């Protein structure tokens, strides 16, 4: 999987490393800003109120 | 993966030979391994989000709520002519007072309501419970997370909990800290010391989860009104 992605990146080594970092950062940002807040709302880790 | 291309002649039992004969199985295993690795990294990343991302979101929301509160308090309105502690109508999710625990060096804008959406931005006031300074129980819930009520267990008897409204500062002193079952509604009743009885004093109650990052029980802080200072 990662090998496939790495081989499909174009250009010399420096460019590939740069692209890989950008890709990883983009995926990370997607999770941090969109997926995790949604996940956090769906899976409340703690309930803090007293109720029935 | 590079071992697949290794055609160095070796004994049939060598790992390179086995890898060649089981190339497909090995590939499949590698994909599964990489997926598991990815899931593991994402789990760690999610934990990092819980400790860094969420507090940042709360801080951002609190800044916005606090600014809104300041603006609302400075704007002249009919309510400024009303008695000091008279609450104006507050909508769900709207900030309406400030809460401070000097011992923890914390201050929050408290919103109305205790829904998941309301509590995402900071502490929330149980609808229907008393307003600050009033006879009865001013009850507030908050997440046990960094930036909100994480260290609430460090509050002890005699500590100050302060509430600032548009017109006054109310100082409460903590008189009880306890851990109860999640369905113990008595702690937010008008008279939490004798649930069902009429209130005899102005009380403040804070609720959060106990232990941290669990929903098993609730940590409760009760405080009693000790001082009132009007702003005008």
Query: Which pLDDT tens digit goes with each residue over A1-52?
Result: 888 899 999 989 999 999 999 999 999 999 999 999 888 888 766 777 887 5
Cα B6 from chain centre: 56
Residues from chain B contacting residue A41 (CB–CB below 8 Å)? 116, 120
Number of separate domains in chain A? 1
Average pLDDT, chain B: 86
Residue of A nearest to B208 (CA): A48
> Residues of A with CB below 8 A from B57's CB?
37
By CB atoms closer than 10 A (0-12, 13-18, 19+), residue B165 is: buried
Tell me if A52 is assigned to some domain.
no
Please tell me if residue B223 touches chain A, with a CB cutoff of 8 Å.
no
Domain limits, chain B: 57-230
State ipTM: 0.86
User: Is A10 part of a structural domain of the chain?
Assistant: yes
Let me know if residue A47 belongs to a domain.
no
Give the domain extent around A31: 2-42
Residue A48 located in a structural domain: no
Residue of B3, B35, B119 to mutate, testing the A interface (most A Cβ within 10 Å of its Cβ):
B119
Phi, psi (degrees; rounded to nearest 5) at B109: -90, 125
Instruction: Indicate whether A17 belongs to any domain.
Output: yes
Inter-chain residue contact B209 with A48, CB threshold 8 Å: yes
pLDDT tens, residue by residue, B128-185: 999 999 999 999 999 998 889 999 999 999 999 999 999 999 999 999 999 999 999 9
CA closest to A27 among chain B residues: B42
- A15–chain B nearest CA distance, Å: 22
**What one-character DSSP code corresponds to residue B188?**
G
Contact B142, B119 (CB under 8 A): yes
Q: Within a domain: residue A6? A: yes
CATH superfamily of B57-230: Sortase (2.40.260.10)
Residue A4 touches partner B, C-beta closer than 8 Å: no
Residue from B171, B56, B66, B77 nearest A40 by CA: B56
């Amino acid at each position: 999987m990662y090998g496939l992605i790495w081989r499909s990146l174009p250009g010399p080594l420096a460019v590939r490393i740069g692209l890989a970092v950008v890709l990883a950062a983009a995926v990370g940002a997607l999770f941090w800003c969109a997926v995790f807040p949604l996940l956090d709302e769906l899976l409340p880790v703690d309930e803090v109120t007293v109720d029935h | 993966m590079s071992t697949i291309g290794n055609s160095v002649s070796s004994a049939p039992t060598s790992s390179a030979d086995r890898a060649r004969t089981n190339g497909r199985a090995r590939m499949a295993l590698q994909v599964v391994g990489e997926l598991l690795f990815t899931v593991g990294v994402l789990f760690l990343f999610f934990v990092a989000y819980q400790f860094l991302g969420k507090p940042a979101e709360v801080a951002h929301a609190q800044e916005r709520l606090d600014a809104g509160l300041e603006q609302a308090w400075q704007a002249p309105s009919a309510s400024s002519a009303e008695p000091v502690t008279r609450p104006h109508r507050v909508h769900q999710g709207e900030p309406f007072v400030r809460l401070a625990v000097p011992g923890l060096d914390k201050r929050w804008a408290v919103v109305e309501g205790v829904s998941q959406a309301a509590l995402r931005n900071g502490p929330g006031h149980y609808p229907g419970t008393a307003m600050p300074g009033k006879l009865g129980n001013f009850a507030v819930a908050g997440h046990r997370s960094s930036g909100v009520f994480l260290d609430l267990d460090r509050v002890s008897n005699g500590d100050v909990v302060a509430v600032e409204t548009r017109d006054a500062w109310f100082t409460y002193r903590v008189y009880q800290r306890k851990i109860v079952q999640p369905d113990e509604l008595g702690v937010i009743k008008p008279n939490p010391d004798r649930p069902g009885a009429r209130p005899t004093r102005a009380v403040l109650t804070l609720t959060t989860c106990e232990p941290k990052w669990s929903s098993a029980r609730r940590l409760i802080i009760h405080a009693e009104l000790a001082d009132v200072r009007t702003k005008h």
